[in-house]
Structure 1
Amino acid sequence: MSLIARLRAYAAEALGVGADDTVDDTHLAATALLVHVARVDGILAASESERLSRLVQGHYADGPDAARALIERAAAMDSETRDVASLVEMIPHDADRVEREALLTMAWSVAAADGRVDEFEEALVERLGRLLGFDDRAIATARSIGQRQAGMA
């Protein structure tokens, strides 16, 4: 059984998610990546949690209840995943560059939501950028935009 199949089975069992659930796997994986970024430094600050919720609601869910449910599922998936690369593998290889850039920018925004980006967050989001196929320049651009969106200069 593949990692993706195991994660889906776990989500179905632990969260009561049936096979007919309508959540897009790509959105679930992207949200799990954002959850991972929010938790990587060991502290899930209220500002990070709020930023995560707003981003998910704005990009992947219709309304606060759907965002909350998606984040809960994504958090369970993240807890069962050993490496961020496994989550990135769930993002289609042919995903639009704009979508991948948006995800990377959101990751920087979540990392900066508490007013600073620590070394763990920085290393993780830079690695995420490389796994998504971006060079250093594109990663730096996404960082600048994400930090600006989070209120950091």
Structure 2
Amino acid sequence: MLQQIRKLFDQIGRGDDVEIREEKDVRMISAALMAEIATADRKVDEREHAALVSLLQDHYGLDVDTAQSMVETALKDRHEATSLYEFTQTVNSNFSERDKYQLVKQMWQVAFADGEIDAFEEHLIRRVAELIYLPHGLFTRARAEARDSSNPDPE
């Protein structure tokens, strides 16, 4: 997955179809990182899968088939990832602080989708947040907002 994303960003750097490919890249980056969270505990709960599709639909205005296809691609191709660091470099080059915050919040939403946070999920989200230089206050705010949105009635 990371090799494909890197290749697409190389094409963007050369000016090839920038407007079309940039949007696709951003969506696939989000899908790939969220898929990593969904699989961090070695299983993809159907609630996590549904959260992946829903988050991509809502955030990028995708139809259900496109979002579903992106999730399936991200889940299928995740074994091709070479390095989290290389991936987060791409995020740092192309995401604003607000976009980084949204990405981390979405990662938390996927993690909370099955009702429990696995230690691997938390570690991975924390590591991504560090590598994309998201301030700790925004990291904790993203977690709290994701937790609150996954549990609307905290009683």
TM-score bucket of the superposed structures, by smaller chain: 0.7 to 0.9
| Aligned pairs (5 A) from 1:68-87 | 68-87=68-87
Distance 2:51 2:5 in 1: 26
Structure 1 residue runs of 4 or more that deviate by more than 3 Å after TM superposition: 19-23
Amino acid at match of 2:76: A
1:90: how far off?
Answer: 2.7
| Aligned pairs (5 A) from 1:102-121 | 102-121=102-121
Match status 1:60 vs 2:60: yes
Larger helix proportion, structure 1 or 2? 2
Q: Any gaps of 5 or more consecutive residues in structure 1?
A: 11-18
Structure 2 counterpart of 1:7, from 4, 15, 27: 4
- Paired-residue identity, %: 23
Q: Specify whether residues 123 and 84 from structure 1 end up closer, same or farther in structure 2 by C-alpha distance, changes over 3 A only.
A: same
* 2:97–2:134 Cα contact (<8 Å) kept: no
Structure 1 SS opposite 2:133: coil
Q: Any gaps of 5 or more consecutive residues in structure 2?
A: 8-15
Match status 1:147 vs 2:144: no
Distance 1:34 1:124 in 2: 10
Q: Specify whether residues 9 and 136 from structure 1 end up closer, same or farther in structure 2 by C-alpha distance, changes over 3 A only.
A: closer
1:83: how far off?
Answer: 3.2
Counterpart of 1:93 in structure 2 is 93
Q: Deviations over 1:23-72 (max 9, x none)?
A: 61121111100000010011211111111110011113521001011112
* 2:5–2:29 Cα contact (<8 Å) kept: no
Corresponding residue pairs, total: 143
Q: CA RMSD in A?
A: 2.7
